[in-house]
Amino acid sequence: MITKKLKASTLGLHAAIHRTGELEHSQAIFQTSSFIFRSAEDAAAVFAGKKSGNIYSRFTNPTVQAFERRLAILEGGESCIATASGMAAILTTCLVLLKQGDHLLASRTLFGTTISLFNTVLTKFGVEVSYADPCDLADWRAKLRPNTRLLFLETPTNPLGEIADIAGLAKIARGADAKLAVDNCFLTSALQKPMELGADLVVHSATKYLDGQGRCIGGAIVSDRKIGEQLFGFMRSGGPSMSPFNAWVFLKGLETMSLRMKAHCAHAQQVAEWLAKHPRVKRVYYAGLKSHPQHRLAKRQARGFGGIVSFELKGGQAAAFRLINRVELFSITANLGDARSTITHPSTTTHNRMGAEARKVAGIGDGLVRLSVGLEDPGDLIADLKQALG
């Protein structure tokens, strides 16, 4: 029934439905740790891989598999592995694709915990890590080493919304016999499909827009079948698995994702345009603004600019704290991608651990505020920002 011709919004609702004999309309949750076998012979055949069947929810659970299949279809990949968190997805990707002595070349502007993971965990196992400017292909080319096996990036970046050229980086990776992994958390497959642009893997924090309502922690890795089998092998023995309940919540999230992402984009655009004209605002970082240095690249490689808007206030940290403490509709939380708008001060929270010097290089100032623009009426959000800035 499901064909390639169906659009993303339809696939989000209809792809990979697993219906039981009870004929439930909403999908069932298989909330069980293990599965039984009809006979000893059956158990032996399933364990030997001669017969398909569920064994144990660390690596085979129908609810988790339904989520994995639906996300694989949406991202245009052959395989998907769901993980306990976005960080587990990134760790799994690195442990499967890299070994001692290999080099990981990553964008220097990444989710803060991703940088901590690379610098403190991977290096402990003898993986070399270095960083390149996400927007400068020549810098990536110059930083390749003979042992580079993985390129890793996010686009748009957090919190400054810089845009990396996915197709250009895919070419560089291919030429170096390395894989390209893209963290597609900020735009999701509803707006950007890195694998169509040549990326080998897409990683997700499902915690953000895949859920869309801030309820569960989860992650996923989409890839081709061959890498998928290696990832599955690690899932089975390493165990960074997603729980069936969380998979069910994320399946529900995927049902509305296309529609939500469209609304997030439209609301963020209005908020960004309004902020850009405000006298207390020094600069707005949002790829949907024509003044954004990579506006055209963003338009070419994605179908929207997403819901994250950052801006630098005149008056540094004091002005940023004043705004954050005065808004009423924006929750003060480091999370993003929720239906409800959130507000964050990156330099003292999400990007604090990277240190002042690195923040300066990355351009994350003390007056910087990051908004995750939600599904509230955008006029209400603007009125709230107006009273808080006034």
Ligand X SMILES: *Cc1c(COP(=O)(O)O)cnc(C)c1O
Position among 183, 211, 312, 384 found at the interface with ligand X (CB under 6 A): 183
Position among 59, 111, 248, 274 found at the interface with ligand X (CB under 6 A): 111
Position 163 contacts ligand X (CB under 6 A): no
Burial grade of 213 (CB within 10 A; 0-12, 13-18, 19 or more) = middle
Residues 196-215 close enough to bind ligand X by CB under 6 A: 205, 207-208
**Smallest distance from ligand X to CB 133, Å:** 18
Per rule CB under 6 A, count of chain residues that contact ligand X: 14
Q: Between 68 and 154, whose beta carbon lies closer to ligand X? A: 154
Position 338 contacts ligand X (CB under 6 A): no
Closest residue to ligand X, based on beta-carbon distance: 86
Using the contact rule CB under 6 A, the part of the chain among 81-89, 127-135, 239-247, 308-316 near ligand X is 81-89
**Smallest distance from ligand X to CB 185, Å:** 4
- Determine the residue type at 297: L
- Determine the residue type at 376: E
Question: How far, in Å, CA of 247 to CA of 209, rounded?
Answer: 14
Burial grade of 180 (CB within 10 A; 0-12, 13-18, 19 or more) = buried
Position among 154, 162, 211, 338 found at the interface with ligand X (CB under 6 A): 154
Answer yes or no: are the C-beta atoms of 164 and 136 closer than 8 Å: no
Position 217 contacts ligand X (CB under 6 A): yes
Phi first, then psi: give them for residue 204, nearest 5 degrees: -135, 145
Position 219 contacts ligand X (CB under 6 A): yes
**Smallest distance from ligand X to CB 390, Å:** 31
Q: Report which of 264, 274, 276 is spatially closest to residue 302, judged by C-alpha positions.
A: 264
Answer yes or no: are the C-beta atoms of 301 and 316 closer than 8 Å: no
Position 161 contacts ligand X (CB under 6 A): no
* CA dist list (Å): 112 to 196, 200, 349, 350, 375: 27, 23, 10, 6, 26
What is the contact surface with ligand X in residues (CB under 6 A)?
85-87, 111, 114, 154, 158, 183, 185, 205, 207-208, 217, 219
